[in-house]
Amino acid sequence: MSIASGAPGTVGAVDVEDAPLYVVGDVHGHLDRLEAALRDQGLIDDEGAWTGGAARLWFLGDFTDRGPDGIGVVELAMRLAEEAAEVGGSARMLLGNHEILLLGVYFFGDHPVPVAGGATTFREIWLRNGGLQWDLDRFTHAQAQWLASQPVAAVVDGYLLIHSDSNAYLEYGSTIEDIDAEVADLLRDPEPLPCWDLFRNLTRRGAFMGDSGADAAADLLGELGGRHIVHGHTPIPYQTGEDPATISGPRVYAEGQVINLDGGIYLGGPCLVARLPLQERRTVVSGADDETLAMVYDIDDDPAYG
């Protein structure tokens, strides 16, 4: 069953360009708040049409689940990709764990998958992670093909863009090109268990926190390139213990090597859209770092997982 067309231009590192670079953190179905954040940056107008000109926009993944209109977010991203390209800009995305889970439940909904202590199904894990039947009912094969053709990592202007704060990407290759090509092959003719393993790997988190976090970040940058890692996946409030309503911008940590753009939107935090390089780097040091080092699954019945 082929679900990815291997669309050209979706794999590998991206050259530095003389155009503004914007990155979007996790959206989780909050379409209205995403549109408001993009408007604030001058990237779309009141009708949601692209106004960013030659700007480059990257979504870090997790479009769906936990919010009211995940498929609306997918539709917006697909349309902006076309509109931006028409005027010399670009709007692109990276796959997050929730995109992999959505593809899994779409194609293998009731197929059993292994978890600690037994087995469950893609559908059960999707529901436990905030999956909405409303989104699944609207999800089309064309949307599935588009999502499955997107990369999981890119280097842009010296920034290593990934969804998860994890080194699990190295399980799929030792270069950006190899990793994206391996994932594209996996999703082009998917089998249930490799798809499940990809989801599990992209749910890992916390690799760049704690005493060894800066070294882990430096190691990943040394392997894949770039000077700074930019990720989403782990809400900033989980890292710092802050009230989500007080989050006002990205978090810079791991001795300045890592930027977190997940404002915790489904917890009440902001939808973060940041222009890189950051004008003001917000660094928070908190003992909460160590609490997420062992997280593997993104499962909703445990409040520690986001």
- Nearest-angstrom CA–CA distance, 73 and 71: 5
**Residue 277 pLDDT class (50, 70, 90 cuts):** very high
DSSP secondary structure letter of residue 93: E
- Pick 21-292's CATH classification: 3.40.50.300, 3.60.21.10, 1.25.40.10, 3.10.20.30: 3.60.21.10
Start-to-end CA distance of the chain, whole Å, equals: 31
* Domain coordinates in residue numbering, the chain: 21-292
pTM, to two decimals = 0.90
What mean pLDDT do residues 290-297 have?
Answer: 40
Share above pLDDT 90 across residues of the chain, in percent, rounded to a whole number: 83
- Nearest-angstrom CA–CA distance, 152 and 172: 10
3-state secondary structure of 76: helix
Task: For the chain, give percent helix, strand, coil, nearest 5.
Answer: 40, 15, 45
**Residue 116 pLDDT class (50, 70, 90 cuts):** confident
Q: What pLDDT, on a 0 to 100 scale, did the predictor assign at position 48?
A: 97
User: Mind listing the pLDDT tens digit for each residue in 81-115?
Assistant: 999 999 999 999 999 999 999 999 999 999 999 99
- Report yes or no: 206 and 165 within 8 Å, Cβ to Cβ: yes
- Nearest-angstrom CA–CA distance, 247 and 268: 9
Give the HSE-up count for residue 135: Cα atoms under 13 Å, Cβ half-sphere: 32
- Report yes or no: 56 and 41 within 8 Å, Cβ to Cβ: no
